[in-house]
Amino acid sequence: MVIKSINLETVCGITSTLPDNDRPEVAFAGKSNVGKSSMINALMNRKSYARISATPGKTQTINFYNINDALYLVDLPGYGYARVSEKEKAQWGRMIERYLHGSSQLREVFLLIDIRHEPSANDRLMYQWIVDQGYEPVIIATKLDKIKRSQVQKHVKMLKEGLALVPGTTVIPFSSVTKQGRDEIWELIEKDCEID
């Protein structure tokens, strides 16, 4: 994908009305701090257009990035952020649910999991829930640069088993640091959004 223009077009808080976009959308879900915003920056060839932070819970809104007026990359708030009240967590859960359930333009959901660690109970719930909504999530194994090359297959297997993935599910190891996996992810997005 040749990036000609990017624009953070819509930012939705807990009580916002979600946009009724007329271009395809792809969304990025995953635990807080897993690297969603970093990945969106890498896809857009930007260092810090999407705000990132070493402290979990950076993205607390649903952010719609308009790419080339052709599609939207949708940055979702992370789950499992400990310093948020139960009430707020529940509100966010409902907001994400409302988006995934209600968007008429959502073509693909990417679920990001840190390649280093066993998926958590929340990761499993999120995966199952996306599947239950009728999507076939693509799994992005993030922070690939943090493990040795010789360990990659073992970690991908751990991830597949830990999430109990539907056989045939695509898993793409990815690093925002080295950009490994970037082209493959764009290819999938272009296919899902029917862009050539």
Footprint of ligand GTP on this chain (CB under 6 A)? Answer: 30, 32-38, 52-54, 56-59, 77-78, 142-143, 145-146, 175-177
The residue type found at 126 is: M
Is residue 58 involved in binding Mg ion (CB under 5 A)? yes
Task: Kindly tell me which of 38 and 103 has the beta carbon lying closer to ligand GTP.
Answer: 38
How many CA within 13 A on the CB side of residue 68?
14
CB of 97 to ligand GTP, least distance (A): 17
Alpha helical stretches, state H, the chain: 36-44, 86-102, 121-132, 152-163, 182-192
Is residue 37 involved in binding Mg ion (CB under 5 A)? yes
Task: Kindly tell me which of 4 and 148 has the beta carbon lying closer to ligand GTP.
Answer: 148
Using DSSP, state whether 48 is helix, strand or coil.
Answer: coil
Task: Kindly tell me which of 56 and 70 has the beta carbon lying closer to ligand GTP.
Answer: 56
Burial of 129 (0-12, 13-18, 19+ CB in 10 A): middle
Task: Kindly tell me which of 36 and 155 has the beta carbon lying closer to Mg ion.
Answer: 36
Nearest to 97 by CA among 159, 18, 25: 18
Task: Kindly tell me which of 37 and 176 has the beta carbon lying closer to Mg ion.
Answer: 37
Burial 154-168 (b: 16+ CB within 10 A, else e): ebbebbbebbebeee
Interface positions, 107-146, toward Mg ion (CB under 5 A): none
Is residue 21 involved in binding Mg ion (CB under 5 A)? no
Residue for token pair 């360990």: 151
8 A C-beta contact, residue 62 and residue 12: yes
Residue 7 binding target from Mg ion, ligand GTP, none, CB below 5 to 8 Å by type: none
CB of 176 to ligand GTP, least distance (A): 4
Residue 10 binding target from Mg ion, ligand GTP, none, CB below 5 to 8 Å by type: none
CB of 48 to ligand GTP, least distance (A): 10
The residue ranges that bind Mg ion (CB under 5 A) are 36-37, 58-59
